[in-house]
Amino acid sequence: MSTRRYPPEDESGNIEYKLTLSESYEDKLEKLSTQIKYRVNEGGGEALFVLGVSDDGEVVGLSEEEYRRSFELLKKAAEKVNVKIGELRTEKVNHGIVAQILLRRTREGDYPICLTIPVLGNADSGKSTTIGVLVTGELDDGNGKAMKMVARYLHEIKMRRTSSIAHRLLGFDVDGKPVNSPLNEAEVYLKSFKIISFVDLAGHEKYLRTTLKGVMGHEADYSMIVIAANSGLVGTTKEHFGLAVALKIPIFIVVTKTDIAPREILEETLESIKRLIKMPSVDKIPLIIKGMDDVIVAAVNMPSGRIIPIFLISNTTGDGLVLLRNFLNLLPPRVRWNEQLNEPFKMYIDEKFNVTGVGTVVSGLIIGGSVKNGDELQLSLIHI
């Protein structure tokens, strides 16, 4: 974000500007708390407050004392509505400090903030390995260690190739720190304030129907396209990219294996990615992530789908993983489930099971309403 001027503040959304919070706010904490609650609800459980900026986006800046006082008052008001705040980034400007503060709703018996991200890309691009490194917090050994920790079947481990649909959880605590191994997924859910649900999908064209089912069988917030730096746009990469574009799912790209790709090959891969993003049928803005400033800009603008961030990582050396984790921690939910709760219950069934002693069990995608024990539902058959 520019230090000269921010976009004018929007009355809706989860971003709020505050020039300063002075002692006069001590008597207005209830009003400030209400404002915090509104912005957090607008963001599905998270909000971003920018201190030192006027409502029209002019960067003014705060002195050290003004910032300290403003932060404490914001913290006090947030506690009244069960919201935790944390300093995300401070920036020195000509007239003082501009600070970006992340506000996140605490659990307090409520559900965690949840995002669903299908992971797409060609076979052998490093999709499962990247997920494995993210959800366990352990680096890969270059010999399939991370992939083995998230694979569902023995043949996937032997072939080093995903052929099914697998779900893996990455949790973040209220301070944005990863909740990883050695906890199991049930504990990750219980201990996390925000959860990224990765949908690990097959990359080989042989399993394209399975991949389509995995994408369309979930209400995706964003899609992660994984591309190997040393291979580029090969195999099903363009088809997967086109699928996400056609379904209007905002995309971010993760370029893996940067540690083994020669510099000229890496640059060639990046140029081909940029050309793909800029094609008239796509018409997006590529943004190569180089630091925390880029991470914040990318996360704030992702719901619009106008930009496509590009992360460069190595799952064996750990290069770039901190920026990717920070980005995932800051990504705002795009699907607004609360607005769909009052609609009639509707679910598309995609799988059925016969459980001994229980009977038929079905699973699928809920697209509206809610259901509870004892409800009677109507089953409709659609012939295609």
Per-residue pLDDT reduced to its tens digit, 317-352: 999 999 999 999 999 998 766 666 778 888 878 778
- Tokens 């989860």 sit on residue: 14
Phi, psi of 24 (to 5 degrees): -60, -20
In a domain, 295, yes or no: yes
What's the average model confidence in pLDDT over 23-35? 78
Whether residues 381 and 368 fall in one domain: yes
Among the three residues 63, 90, 105, which one is the final residue of a domain in this structure?
A: 105
Provide CB contacts within 8 A for 73, sequence distance 6+: 21, 25, 26, 29, 32
Whether residues 60 and 132 fall in one domain: no
Q: Please give the pLDDT value at position 2.
A: 43
The Cα–Cα gap between 312 and 289 comes to 8
In a domain, 272, yes or no: yes
Whether residues 312 and 185 fall in one domain: yes
What's the average model confidence in pLDDT over 157-180? 79
In a domain, 120, yes or no: no
Question: What pTM was estimated for this model as a whole?
Answer: 0.84
Whether residues 258 and 316 fall in one domain: yes
Q: How many domains does the chain have?
A: 3
In a domain, 378, yes or no: yes
Whether residues 148 and 182 fall in one domain: yes
38 and 12 in contact (C-beta within 8 Å)? no
Whether residues 347 and 207 fall in one domain: no
77's tokens: 């008001």
Whether residues 279 and 148 fall in one domain: yes
- Across 88-102, 129-143, 151-165, least confident range: 151-165
Whether residues 229 and 249 fall in one domain: yes
- Across 85-89, 169-173, 204-208, 371-375, least confident range: 204-208
Q: At what angle do helices 29-42 and 64-79 cross, to 10 degrees?
A: 80
In a domain, 64, yes or no: yes
Percent of the chain's residues with pLDDT above 90 = 56
User: What CATH code is carried by the domain that includes residue 211?
Assistant: 3.40.50.300
Whether residues 22 and 41 fall in one domain: yes
The DSSP letter of residue 1 is -
- Across 93-102, 158-167, 223-232, 251-260, least confident range: 158-167
Where would I find the H helices in 137-217?
Answer: 145-148, 154-159, 185-191, 208-216
Pick from 221, 219, 235: which is nearest to 127 by CA? Answer: 235
153's tokens: 């079947």
Domain range for 217 is: 128-333
The Cβ of residue 224 has, within 10 Å, a number of other Cβ atoms equal to: 24
Whether residues 155 and 226 fall in one domain: yes
Q: Please give the pLDDT value at position 167.
A: 83
Cα first-last separation, the chain = 48
User: What CATH code is carried by the domain that includes residue 101?
Assistant: 3.30.110.10
What's the average model confidence in pLDDT over 350-368? 82
In a domain, 115, yes or no: no
Among the three residues 51, 74, 105, which one is the final residue of a domain in this structure?
A: 105
Burial readout 281-313 (b: 16 or more C-beta within 10 A, e: otherwise): eeebebbebeebebbbbbbbbbbebebbbbbbb
Whether residues 343 and 328 fall in one domain: no
In a domain, 113, yes or no: no
Q: Please give the pLDDT value at position 1.
A: 43
Whether residues 282 and 366 fall in one domain: no
In a domain, 135, yes or no: yes
226 and 134 in contact (C-beta within 8 Å)? no
